[in-house]
Amino acid sequence: MKFKMNFHKGIWIALLSFITVFSSCEYDAIEDQPKPIASPEPSPEPAPAPQNPDECITKPAADNGTVIPKQYIVKYKDEEEELHASASDALAKKTGLQRNAFRAVYKRGFAAKMSNEEAERFKQDPHVETVEPDRVVSIVSCYTEVNEQSTPWGVTRVGSGDATGKSVWIIDTGVDMDHPDLIVDATRSKSFIEGATPEDDHGHGTHVAGTIAAKNNLIGVQGVAYNAKIIALKVMDASGRGSMSNVIAAVNHVAANGKPGDVVNMSIGGDISEILDNAIIAAAEKGILFAVAAGNDAVRANTSSPARVNHPNVFTVSAMNNQDVFAAFSNYGNECVDFCAPGVSIPSTHKNGGYATMSGTSMATPHVAGLLLLNGVNILKDGVVKEDPDGLPDPIAHK
């Protein structure tokens, strides 16, 4: 479900990252990728404080979904030979593109700069399964800094437990690598933004991380699966901007480097993409578990990727407030939404060692990611959400 939030008078400013994503085409990731994907140009400004607090939610920026000129994502058929980014001469020969055109390389696909005529040539190639234009993925920042020293209401509502030794991959704006309330695996973390480290210079990814796995200690907040190890995969920059190919590259990276039982949080969403959706399905087939935001547009969740993905290891999450009432901004629809979770006025960790309150299905999704770390796919339910707009109330996720 997508995002819109009810905010108590002037104190809650929620930020969330909602990134555009794609749907069905299997992309098996490889280790030897070329240079990280450059973030497309200008940066959206942070959202100003609204007159109506309900307007302050994490949501896509105005340019979210915009086609990046002359940049495409190509997926070869599964029976084709694997590609290797390190073999740049062979890649150039196979594709007819210049060596410096490639933005990312997957086992059976790539993202590259090319002319529209070259893209048409790939579409006619019998070895190619899908060609999609690369698109901007971007979110608007909206949050309130707080000085939290408590267990957030959402964690209390869904339950919590010790997840020491377990790993969660967060595909987002990065994570505050040395936040005192988080355990971050710097070695396995990776940036897909050119010239950037996995450090979170935006805040959204760190907020997600805290809800999932903030330590059970005497400071700050506590996560659902406290003490879990966080692996940051940065696909959006300081302004909350990236590309679809960034996201696909990150999913493929998890497929290549994760293990069964690992959890991936994707508090992002956007236009329908077969390539992204199938990349997620391919990783899920390997036993990797996904928590995915339904979205914040108050429409049916099956109109966007990756929210529309259906697989036993993929869980799409809608949002509710602390009265178990469906959030007005949240996307809905039982054809793909699996659970509802707390997503309004959620306090959590934030960039620069801080804490902030945010709202959105981006905030609801990490509650379910934490439960997946604790229980695997055996998530329980504790009642159903009230006032679900589709008339078929989503079960409320619980430990």
Does residue 217 fall inside a structural domain?
yes
- d(C-alpha 392, C-alpha 32), whole Å: 46
Mean pLDDT (the chain, rounded): 86
Q: The pTM is what?
A: 0.85
- Residue 15 tokens read as 């930020």
Give kind and range of the element (H or E) at residue 128. Answer: strand 128-140
* Residue 280 or residue 99, greater confidence: 280
Please report whether residue 144 resides in a domain: yes
pLDDT above 90 as % of the chain? 73
- Please state the domain count of the chain: 1
User: What is the model's pLDDT at position 146?
Assistant: 83
Q: Per 3-state DSSP, what percentage of the chain is helix, strand, and coil (rounded to 5)?
A: 20, 30, 50
Question: Do the domain assignments include residue 165?
Answer: yes
What average pLDDT score do residues 107-128 get? 94
Tell me, yes or no, if 362 is annotated catalytic.
Answer: yes
Q: How large a percentage of the chain has pLDDT more than 70?
A: 85
Q: What is the mean pLDDT of residues 278-297?
A: 97
Q: Is 311 an active-site residue?
A: no
- Asked whether residue 107 is assigned to any structural domain, the reply reads no
Q: Of 177, 154, 165, nearest to 373 (Cα)?
A: 165
Q: Cα–chain-centroid distance for residue 47?
A: 20
Confidence class of residue 337 from pLDDT cuts 50, 70 and 90? Answer: very high
Question: Of 15-19, 129-133, 383-387, which range is least confident?
Answer: 15-19
The Cα–Cα gap between 354 and 377 comes to 32
Choose, from 24, 160, 172, 200, the residue flagged as catalytic. Answer: 172
Task: Give the least confident one: 54-58, 192-196, 205-209.
Answer: 54-58
Q: Alpha-carbon distance 198 to 186, whole Å?
A: 8
Residue 353 lies in a domain: yes
Whether 298 is covered by a domain: the verdict is yes
Stretch (H or E) spanning 122: helix 116-124
- By mean pLDDT, which of 29-43, 85-99, 205-219 is the weakest? 29-43
* Residue 202 falls in the annotated catalytic set: no
For the cut 60, the answer to whether the pLDDT of residue 4 exceeds it is no
Instruction: Give a yes or no: residue 131 inside a domain.
Output: no
* Catalytic hit among 267, 318, 362, 394: 362
Of 39, 160, 200, 204, the catalytic one is 204
Tell me which residue range forms the domain holding 379: 139-398
Q: What are 135-162's pLDDT values in tens digits?
A: 999 888 788 888 767 899 999 999 999 9
Whose structure tokens read 């070259």? 118
H-helix or E-strand containing 262? none
User: What integer pLDDT is reported at residue 56 of this predicted model?
Assistant: 66
pLDDT in tens, 349-372: 999 999 999 999 999 999 999 999
Give the mean pLDDT of 40-55.
41
CATH number at 213 reads 3.40.50.200
pLDDT band at 171, cuts 50/70/90?
very high
Distance CA 135, CA 287 (A): 29
Q: Which contiguous run of DSSP H or E holds residue 318?
A: strand 314-320
In a domain, 143, yes or no: yes
**What is the per-residue pLDDT across 310-321, written as a single tens digit (0 to 9) for each?**
999 999 999 999
Closest CA to 277 of 250, 248, 246: 248
**Cα separation of 71 and 135, whole Å?**
8
Is residue 92 pLDDT above 70, yes or no? yes
Where is pLDDT greater, at 166 or 43?
A: 166
Instruction: Round to whole Å and give the CA distance between 54 and 14.
Output: 10
